[in-house]
Amino acid sequence: MSEVTVTGMVLSASPIGEYDRRVVFLTKERGKISAFAKGAQKPNSTFIGVTSPFCFGEFTFYEGKNSYTLKTARISNYFEALRTDVEGAYYGFYFLDLAGYYSREAVEAGDLLKLLYQTLRALLNPRLNNRMIRYIYELKILCISGEAPQVFECISCGEPNKEAIFCVRRGGLVCPDCRRAGDKGRKLSPAALYALQYIVSSPVEKLYTFVVNEEVLGELGDVVGEYVNAYVEKSFKSREILESIVG
């Protein structure tokens, strides 16, 4: 049985039998990994703390023919503060679920892991609005997954046009000349459009470096929310709970 060491984060953990856990990791090198953590539910197990959601670090597995078994874990960030903040925790659980939805086994996920890590760090920053963090994360994860909206020019003719509307069904901006019967969309304020352009085009490290006023935040929430509903084909219990808490 060979060994493999990866950098990753725990997305979820569930009990298997009386003593073990099944743990799902998002890893830079191998995408999503499901592994057994033997004895992780025993009171004296070294795996109790390191197999909880949000744990980030270096993990070594025994790699079998059809499964992984956790051997060691060296955690560099537990994100403990999220465990004592109900609102922050449920934002975090939703972000973990969304990352799990978009990650794949045996597919490198460096960008996705980096986005998730930086987003959880942003949740710990009291100067940042959690709603804004959510909209940035939702839109950027769609971009990483190849479902970015076109926010720089008309999606049909390629011309930049100040009178373009954002049409979710068409996947981005549509100018007056290219609108079709039945196209529904909204005219965005310059500030909201610029924010969308910044999120789509910026590297992950620079995403959480700006703020907007409440009016623009509302526009972003409407547009990103509608886009997520159209392109994410799954409902998440964590999102339902989050929205019951924050409205």
**How many whole angstroms separate alpha carbon 170 and alpha carbon 183?**
8
CA distances from 220 to 167, 225, 226, 228 (A): 14, 8, 10, 12
Domain boundary among 59, 77, 95: 77
Shared domain for 63 and 99, answered yes or no, is no
**Is the domain of 142 the same as that of 67?**
no
Query: What is the extent of the structural domain holding 130?
Result: 80-246
Q: Are residues 226 and 198 in the same domain?
A: yes
CB burial string 196-223: b at 16+ within 10 A, e below: beebbebebeebbeeebeeebbebbeeb
Nearest to 111 by CA among 231, 12, 195, 27: 27
**Which of the listed residues 26, 49, 77 is the one where a domain comes to its end?**
77
Same domain, 115 and 70: no
Question: In this structure, what token pair is assigned to residue 103?
Answer: 């990650």
pTM of the complete model: 0.96
- Residue partners of 221: CB distance under 8 A and separation at least 6: 131, 135
Do 164 and 45 reside in the same domain of the chain? no
169 and 150 in a common domain: yes
Q: Which of 116, 125, 127 shows the shortest CA–CA distance to 92?
A: 116
Cα 120 to Cα 23, 40, 113, 241, 243: the distances in Å are: 19, 25, 11, 18, 18
Say what angle helices 130-144 and 86-102 make with each other, to 10 degrees.
10
Tens digit of pLDDT at every position of the chain (247 positions)? 799 999 999 999 999 999 999 999 999 999 999 999 999 999 999 999 999 999 999 999 999 888 999 999 999 999 999 988 999 999 999 999 999 999 999 999 999 999 999 999 999 999 999 999 999 999 999 999 999 999 999 999 999 988 999 999 999 999 999 999 888 899 999 999 999 999 999 999 999 999 999 999 999 999 999 999 999 999 999 999 999 998 7
The residue whose two tokens read 């789509």 is 200
| C-alpha of 184 from chain center | 27
Tell me: do 58 and 86 sit in the same domain: no
Assess contact for 179 and 200: CB atoms under 8 A.
no
Tokens of 239: 């999102």
> What number of residues does the chain have?
247
Q: Are residue 70 and residue 84 in the same domain, yes or no?
A: no
Longest Cα–Cα distance in the chain? 68
pLDDT in tens, 125-168: 999 999 999 999 999 999 999 999 999 999 999 999 889 999 99
Number of domains in the chain: 2
